[in-house]
Structures are given as structure tokens and as C-alpha cells.
Structure 1
Amino acid sequence: MCGGNDHEHCSVPGLLLRNPWDEEPAPGQELPQAAAEAPRPKAVRSAVWKRRKLWELKRHLHCPVIGTCLDIDTWRRLARARSLAVEQMSDYEVHVHFVGACAQRNASSLAAQKALDRAHEGLLRRFARARSREQLEALWAQALSAGEVPGGFWALVSHPRCDATLVDRAYEDVHMLSHQVGAGQRADLKKHQEARIEIQRLRDDVDDLQRRNRQAIDHRDRRITALEAELAAVIKQHRAAQARESDARERLERLGGQGHQERMTAIAERARTAERRASRLRHEVGRWQEACERADARARAWEQECEDQRAQREALERQLAPGAAQCSGCTASSESGCPNLCGRRILCVGGRSHVIEYYRELVARCNGEFEHHDGGIEDNPQRLNALLSSADAVICTTDCVSHDAYNRSKKFCKRSAKPCVLLRSSGVSTFARALEQVALQHAGQVASAQVSLLPSR
């Protein structure tokens, strides 16, 4: 805001304008000539307070009044009415012109006074009803909270009962409000810049969307054109087919008449009968194909089972052969047909009780140690953990074992990376085949260890 540092305000004028009729003449005096000649009105107020004019305010108030109480467009219109070249003047120059002109009574200050009174007529009437400083202070606070600062400030500083302290307070409020408005404008400018960037981005997105839409529309138009051409060709072919059908009907009517039609009906009936028979045959062929597939699946299962039985029988024969007995240590050769367990401890989980001794004998023939746990039927389930820890390989029969022992054996072997063979039955031949698998796994591990120990060239 412009204006000097002078914060002095003019005091409230104490002069009361009185009507000559309000005073009675003193004894021996006569009324003034003007009072004697003037007619007495019906109702005359005892005293009238005059509002301050714009040029009667302190100079430092002109800047906030001009800058706050009316917008710059109104000041430009007033300047244009005074024949000023406002097109070549900036907003600041227009503001400075009226601030300087309001220092005294002249055409510009009178025009400004009328514009201010006309713009804030409602608030002026509201403030005119105030009869004390407290009422003025309350009205100013109400105008601040309601956002009626322009009209409230003009009505306050021009009110005859407004003292210097209240004027200073209003000046400070407007001064700080201008700072807040400036900060708000800066924030609004920042938001405006961000909004411009967002609008540009949205415009780019819209342009891209319009471009894609145009491409899609062009593709659709080309597709519609192609389909219309294809439809025209199909319609042409259909019309040609209808023409041929009509010609054929005419020829048939000329050649065969009613008898030909009956023959055609009989042929069509025979064709339908043949089609129904073919459908039944196709259905029957499908059933036979499904039966053949099921038979092939059963044959493959039987072949696999026979192969397993043969392997188990051969394993049992090799282990029960006369030359396979009394294997000593790890020196037994594979030529004898007996797998060499090399003293490994084999744990059998589950199995039928009458074959356990055969299991033990087979393990002993294969140079191994045999341990057995019945799978939780009679043996303590807690004993299974100790046997699993001491075993080198585990063989579990799935047809005669509890679920708990089965699951614990699988999990333990998987966690400790020990060989685990699951048997579908408790037969002796099946167990013999499992011993061969354990021996083969051990031989593979030994070979891998030997290869890793070979010196690198």
C-alpha cells in the first residue's frame, strides 16, 4: 500500500449542524431574519452528524480505500469518463492517479466519492445506524468475518463516530489482509500453473485418444466397405442360385411331373433312414473305441504289473540262489546275483508279521543289518524316530502300516535325504526288489563320490 508513515487521524468533528428553529430566542432578542422568514418544517431532527468525505480522510487511508473498496475496472471507467488515456496507463498508474486526486476536493475525488457510495450503499445504511464506537467495532468484525471488507472499510472510515484507534485497527486489518491475499494469489498462481500443465497433459491425452479413435473409425470404415462388397457378392451368388433352382424346378416339372416328385420323396426318405443308421453305427463305433481304449489301458497296467512281478521274482531268485549265500563284507561281487548292501542298516516300517523273518534273512544275505517297526500297530510310535535316525535306508509297505508312521517316514527321509522305497504290497519278492533298488542307489552315490575325488587335469 502507498501512503506515508503518518498514522494520525482527524478527530471526530464536534460541530453540530442545528436548525434555527431548534433554539428559542433570548429575552429581548428576535429570531434571525432567515429563521423568521423560513417556514418551520413539520419534523426537524435535533442534530445531524455528517459522514466524512474522501478528501477529508488522512492521506495514508487513500491508498487502502482506492485499492480495496473498488476494483481496478471501476477506476478505469471513472478515469475514462475524465478523458484520461487509460489505455496507455497501467493499473498502478490508475491507482496512483486517484490516490493523489483524493487529497483534495476536485472532479476526480467527487466522482470517486459517488462511486464508493453507490457501490456500498447497503453497508453504508447498516453502519449509519451505529450510535457508538462499540457498535461500529462489532459491525467491522462482522464485515471481516463475512468477507465484506471493501464496503465495511469504506463505511467505517467515513463514519463520523469512528475514532482514530478504530481507524488504525481497521487499517492494520486491511494491511494484513492484503498480505494474505497476496500469499493466496501466489498459491493460486502455483495451482494455476499446475492446472495448466495438467490441462496440457489432458489435451495431449485427448489428442492421442482422438487419433486412435480416427484410426479405429478408418479401420471400421474399411472393414464395413469390405463386408459390404462381400455381402454384395453373396447376394449376387444367392440370386444366381435362386435362378438355377427355379430353372431346375421348371425342368423337373417338365420331365417327371408327379411321378418324379414321388421318386424324389422316396429317395429322400431312404437317405434319412441311411443317415439314422449311420448315426447309430457311429455311436456304436464310438462305444467300441472307448472299450478298446479301456482294454488297452488295462493291458498296459497288466503288462506293467507282470513286469514288476517278473522283476521281483528275479530279484528274489537271485537272492535265494545257492551261490548267493554267505556274502562277506563289501567284497561280494555282483556276479553272484545278490545285491551288496555293504553293511548298511535297513529299516522296514510296516509289513505282515509272518514275512518279517524272510525280510531279515534277505537283508542278511545282502550283507546288511535289518531293523523293523510294525508301523504303530504294537510298537511304540516314539520308537520310530530313533529307528529312523539310525537307519541308512527305509523301506515302507503301504498295505500294512498306519497313516502316521507312513507320513513320518516319508517326511523324515525327505528331510534327511535318506533313501526311501515305498512298497505296494508286503510280498517277499517285492521286498527283494526294493533291496536291489537300495543297493543301486548306494552304488550310484559311491561312484559319484569317487568321481568327485579324482584329481582335475
Structure 2
Amino acid sequence: MPILSEFHNHNHGETSTFTLPRKIEAPLFKIDPKNQQRRKIWDISPNLHCSIIGTCLTATELRQFLGKMGEPDAKTASDHSLHSRGVLAAGRQDIAGKQLNKTLDRRHETLVKRFSKVATLDEIRKLWAEALEEGEVPGAYWAVMTHPATDKPLLQEVFGEVHMLSHLVGSANRLDIARLRKLQTELDERDEKIVRQEARLQSGADERSALLRRIDEMEQTIIRLAARNDTKVEHADETSILRSALERLDTEKARSESLTARLQATEDKCKAAEKRAAAMSEQIAELRFELEAVDTMLNVETADGSPSVLSSRSLLYVGGRRGLFDRLRVLAEQRGYALFLHDGGVEDNLSLLPGLVSQASAALFPVDCIGGGARQASVSGRAEKVRSLENGEPRQLYCRCFHRRGFGQRIGSGHASAEGEGKSLCARIKKLDFKFPV
């Protein structure tokens, strides 16, 4: 007969002492000043048994305990039914109650020993706060409830925190479960798709192997038939058979070639997908680099703290897209620079460029967005101020220039053509470690 027979009698319509929790005016636990041993679960108010069972034992652990107590449906009963039986056992000082107390002690032995080393309320409260921060709520809750020094205010405080924590966990679990189900569905669909693709590939490979074996058999048949041509009586029939075999061979070869082409196309698609994935990875790495560059530009001062070579904090940006000028100007103002802009001769007069170069501490121009004349004008006679930005969206390159270190290094002037000078500057700039003031 099950230990918790009262619960089963209640389920069959008989009178039972098991009822829903109600407000009890009795003390929350038995107080015995002479007894310094830990409390048992039946010494604690029934009002707290529900929270103890629900917090300190998992459904699996409770199911195992009730199975040991002889509950016939311990493996199939609902979690709520098991919880109710656990609460009933907690209030009884019999075999079930004692075994339940031992189960809780074994389950939370580490935390019980840790709390047993302290004796004051302040020490207990401190250990409880640490356990709450580290997520060790079940063991700490059982240790506080059974500690001989725990008083009513501390017990009510701990109970309240666990009660509210259960609400928060329940709310968060609902969202997590929804997200988990969605992700699991997507994962299952992807796995099914992969399985189907692998099955098609394997089927094609098997069919191709079978066709190759049949071709070999046909060729052997042709060889045998050719060896029998010396018999004149059967010559006509053998010729017909040979012709038929050759036709079948041609058909099988055509099918084999078709399957080979399909298999190659599938392999090409797989390789293309791998290349796209690699390209996306490279793009992600580049975007991450740009993001780090912008973050560094906005948050980090010059590494060595040395004064900037751009003492006047003025820059000249030649070329680029006019649609970006406003954003570049805002970016420069945020960093405390005076920014001179020239579109490289599209609308602005090229005769203004030498004067702007003389006013700026450094000149920047994107190689892919500037005309030859503007490049020649910006380079000629003042190449030491020029910093060329090659191949990239101007605003990203502009941000990168503010982030790079070593801007004080000069680039020698030359007398080559505008195109050659730009390429030379780009090649030499790539070897420098710019240091732009932030």
C-alpha cells in the first residue's frame, strides 16, 4: 500500500486530510532554545512546504522519491500531482517525512555544510545573498529554512525573495520557450533539407556506379560475342545481338554522362555556396574592423599621448562624393578639426585648390573619386601633406584615417604624372602606420 494513502483516498472521493494550503496562525517553525540542531521539515510551518518542495526538488527528483515510497503511478503522474504528494509528505513525521528530509539533505549537502559554519543572523543573511547572486537558490533556501539560528523576519525575507523570483523565472521561461521552439523548428527544417540533399547525392552516386557496372558487363558481352563470330551459322544472329548491345551501351553511356553532369552541377552548387559563405565571413570581418575603427576614433585618445603633428587641426578633403560632404564635415567638427572640402573640379574651380592646400595641415583624397587635374594640383609641390585613400567608400576611409596612427610621417614629393603619383602614394601609404589625433 502506498505511503501516501491519504492522497489516493482523496482522489477516489473518500475523506482525506490533504487540503489546499490556508493561512495558519501557528508559528512558522518550532522554537526550542535548547536545541541547536537543524530543524526537520515537519518542524516548519505547512504554509512553507509548498515553496520548499517546489524550489528545492526538481520534478525528476520528486518522482524518484515517490517511487521509492511505493507510489504506483510515480512514473506517469503529472508534475502537479507529484508536487501535491510531496507537500503532504513534508508535514508528516513518519517514514515519508523522514525520507523526504534525508533526500533534501543529500541533495543540498554542500550548501547545508556551508551554512552550518555560521551562527549569527547577519552571517546567514550574507551567505544567502551570495547564493542568490550565484544562482544557488534551491540549496541555500533549504539551508536557511532548517538553520537553528533563522528567525521569523529572516525566514519571511527569504521566502518573499524566492516567491518573487518564481514569478520572474516563469515569465522569462515563457519567452525562452517560444524562442527555443522557433529555433528548433528552423533547425529541424534545415536538417531535413540537408538530409534530402545528401540522399539525392548518394542516390545519384549509387545510380552512376550501377550504370558503370552495367557498361562493364555490356563491354564484356560484346567481347564474348565478337569471339563467337567464327561460327557462320550464328553470324547473323550474333551481329543482331551485338548491334542491340551496342545500342544499349550507347544509351547507358548517355545516361551515365547525364548523371555525371548532374552530379557535377550539384558539386558546383555546393562549392559556390561555400565560396559565398567564405565571402560573407570576410565581409563580416571587414565590417567588424570598420566598426572597431569608428569606435576607437570616437572613444580612444592618441596611444602615446604625444602632441599631434596637425597643430592647427585642419584637413583638406579633395574629391569624393558631394553627397558625403555634410557627414564628413559633422564628423570633423565632432573631433575638433577644421575641414576644407573641394570636389576635385566637378563644380569647384581648380584654381582654388592650391590655396586650400596651403591652409591645411594635411590633404586627403580618395583615388577612385578624384580627377587627374585635381590630383596633380594637390600633389604638386605639397606632396608631404597628401594622404591618398584607395578603393573604398569615402566616409569609411575617412574614419579609418582618423583612427590610424603615425600621421606625422611624411611622403616625399615626386614629379611623375598625376596617375603615377597617385598610385605611388597609395603603395607607400599602405606601408605606413598612420597616427591621426583623436
* Bigger-Rg structure (1/2): 1
Q: Does TM, normalized by the shorter one, top 0.5?
A: no
| Alignment TM-score, normalising by the size of structure 2 | 0.42
| Alignment TM-score, normalising by the size of structure 1 | 0.40
